[in-house]
Amino acid sequence: MGEWYRDEVWIDDWTWTGHPSQVSTTLKRSISNTVLQKWGVESFYIGVASGPNLQPALKKRFDEYKRSWGCNEMWALYSSTSQTNTLTLEKELVKTYREYPGFLNRISGGGSAPTSAKMKYLYLALKRSV
């Protein structure tokens, strides 16, 4: 169940788990249905968060950069205990969407530092016109 954070951003999830080869197509379909069909989406970003629980992990990732472009939704897409699997998916998705209008990632994916947190989450941050 989602929640508002600081009355600025809606945080929710539709997470999948499994090996990247099992979930990659589903994640791409979900992202495409959300951002390419528009549904009011002006810009989007794909990233990785980590922590014992999803909501606090995503809240930590809501930073000044996301505020600066008006991010108002964050959706967890994938969860895993494997940093390798999570970063593999991030790199693949960034490569897939990097040429799309409104895509805001500044690096090619996988910029996350190693973490000892048990859970890793791949997320989609977006600005949806209200």
Q: Is 63 helix (H, G, I), strand (E, B) or coil?
A: coil
Give the model's pLDDT for residue 41.
92
Torsion of CA 126, 68, 96, 15, to 10 degrees: -40
Report pLDDT for 76: 93
Both tokens assigned to 64: 């000044």
The tens-digit pLDDT sequence of the chain (130 residues) is: 687 888 788 888 888 999 999 999 999 999 998 887 767 899 999 999 999 888 889 999 999 999 999 999 999 999 999 999 999 999 999 999 999 889 999 876 555 566 677 899 999 999 998 7
- Residue 92: how many other CB atoms lie within 10 Å: 17
CA dist 48 to 37, 76, 130, Å? Answer: 23, 9, 25
| Domain range annotation of the chain | 3-128
